């Protein structure tokens, strides 16, 4: 269950209430050892979350920590509450976009995600009991909405469809919609851990089909979708066409660079060449960073960047409500950027170079076979005088005609694959090359049909 940035597993198979109690007890010791005493705890809408939350809180209080229980709340709102209430840590019971039978924990201490070796040490620690534990109920949504009011007040009337995906963003989204001017339409805003309409992962095209149809049906300007714990966001324009988060990041970068000319803008290695070139054209310094919450945040801080993001829909604003990724805040900043540029999202999409990219593809593979595929790409690139290999995260092979990426996933035993061609023919050639690399790596029998080349920008 131990991942790079969080803990996730199948409930009742990998993850039990006993595990949740142990994690709570261990984290309580970590908090107390750092001089802290209070922790915010929230949960997503999964059916297993209440029981896991109860066991986690039992462990935290047994370890001598004061727990400020927030109930169902998006991950960014839990982080916001920890800061607003002057707490030392935060835990969210969530498996983000994973299947409904899974769950887990995102853990934060002193404003930073507990990850890597620190997270492994937390899991390995037996924890210890201590006196002084307590439990309080807190409502984080009212102060969070108050903090959003200034931003909402700047927005002109718009027609927007909002899809909460039956996830934790639903309750706060319902409140926000009543404050926004124009016409706003909610989809799947009731929290339902069965995810009856579609899975809450806006990075998968199929999960945006309902949103796309609703945008066309009501004649909306755009549509916005959230993942299960509300920290990631996806977009479709007024034609119902998906606009990938890396392209939305370019829109936001142009807006941010008006106020902070010359600033660094950080994007992950899966992002489009259009983004990196566009940042430079707008006068910014484009920084390519490894994928992943912690690594992206580290690159953002190292470059004093006001903005960062990745293809999956995590978008970070240094001047945001938490300084971290927040789906609702990112969505409202996108609406503001469109208004300031006097653009529709459709117009913005149409202005981009006509490159052709695949969606993010994931191929389940064990570590040994992942290594074989990466070795095959190394060998392949060495024989191609026109190829350049970027090793920021996995291997990104760059040519004048396009690029392809092969990198190990941080959250599962899988390779993440993506490619982008300057033309449709170039993208199709990259698709063929990628299949050949996988065969050379000895995984042809395990290779599912790759998603057809997407003509969406």
Catalytic residue positions, numbered: 96
Q: What are the distances in angstroms from CA 214 to CA 31, 237, 248? A: 46, 11, 20
- Is 23 in contact with 56 (CB distance < 8 Å)? yes
Residue 114 CB contacts under 8 Å (≥ 6 apart), including other chains: 27, 30, 107, 108, 122
Q: Strand 134-137 to strand 66-72: parallel, antiparallel, or no bridges (unpaired)?
A: parallel
- Is 91 in contact with 21 (CB distance < 8 Å)? no
Three-state DSSP class for residue 349: helix
Q: How many H helices and E strands in the chain?
A: 14, 22
Residue 285 CB contacts under 8 Å (≥ 6 apart), including other chains: 262, 263, 264, 265, 279, 303
> Which DSSP category does 377 fall into?
H
Q: What are the distances in angstroms from CA 297 to CA 75, 132, 394? A: 16, 34, 18
Q: Phi, psi at residue 289, to the nearest 5°? A: -125, 160
Q: Strand 66-72 to strand 112-113: parallel, antiparallel, or no bridges (unpaired)?
A: unpaired
| Residue closest to 105 by CA, chosen among 140, 53, 51 | 53
Q: Which residue has the tokens 């070795």?
A: 375
């Amino acid at each position: 269950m131990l991942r790079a940035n969080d803990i996730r597993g199948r409930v009742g198979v990998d993850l039990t209430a006993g595990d949740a109690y142990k994690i709570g007890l261990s984290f309580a010791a970590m908090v107390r050892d750092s001089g802290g005493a209070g922790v915010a705890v929230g949960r997503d809408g999964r059916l297993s979350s209440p029981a896991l939350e109860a066991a986690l809180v039992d462990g935290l209080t047994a370890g001598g920590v004061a727990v400020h229980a927030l109930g169902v709340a998006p991950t960014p709102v839990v982080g916001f509450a920890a800061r607003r209430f002057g707490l030392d840590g935060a835990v969210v019971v969530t498996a983000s976009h994973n299947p409904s039978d899974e769950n887990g924990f995102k853990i934060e201490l002193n404003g930073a995600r507990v990850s890597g070796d620190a997270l492994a040490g937390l899991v390995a620690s037996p924890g210890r009991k201590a006196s002084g534990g307590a439990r309080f109920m807190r409502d984080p949504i009212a102060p969070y909405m108050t903090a959003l009011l200034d931003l909402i007040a700047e927005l002109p009337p718009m027609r927007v469809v909002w899809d909460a995906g039956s996830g934790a963003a639903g309750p706060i989204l319902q409140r926000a919609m009543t404050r926004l001017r124009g016409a706003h339409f909610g989809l799947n805003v009731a929290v339902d851990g069965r995810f009856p309409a579609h899975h809450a992962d806006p990075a998968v095209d199929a999960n945006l089909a309902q949103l796309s149809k609703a945008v066309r049906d009501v004649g909306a300007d755009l549509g916005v979708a959230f993942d299960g714990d509300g920290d990631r966001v996806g977009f479709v324009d007024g034609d119902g066409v998906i606009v990938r988060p890396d392209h939305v990041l370019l829109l936001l970068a142009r807006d941010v660079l008006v106020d902070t000319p010359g600033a660094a803008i950080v994007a992950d290695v899966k992002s489009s060449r259009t983004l990196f070139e566009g940042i430079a054209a707008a006068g910014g310094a484009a920084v390519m960073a490894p994928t992943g919450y912690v690594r992206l945040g580290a690159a953002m801080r190292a470059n004093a960047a006001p903005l960062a993001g990745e293809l999956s829909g995590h978008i970070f604003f240094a001047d945001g409500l938490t300084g971290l990724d927040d789906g609702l805040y990112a969505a409202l900043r996108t609406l503001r950027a469109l208004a300031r540029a006097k653009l529709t999202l459709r117009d913005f999409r149409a202005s981009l170079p006509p490159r052709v990219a695949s969606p993010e593809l994931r191929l389940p593979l064990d570590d040994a076979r992942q290594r074989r595929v990466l070795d095959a790409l190394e060998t392949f690139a060495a024989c191609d005088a026109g190829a350049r290999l970027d090793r920021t995260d996995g291997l990104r092979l760059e040519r004048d005609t396009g690029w392809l990426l092969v990198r190990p996933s941080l959250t599962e035993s899988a390779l993440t694959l993506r490619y982008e061609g300057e033309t449709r023919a170039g993208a199709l050639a990259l698709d063929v090359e990628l299949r050949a690399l996988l065969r050379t790596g000895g995984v042809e029998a395990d290779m599912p049909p790759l998603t057809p080349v997407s003509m969406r920008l």
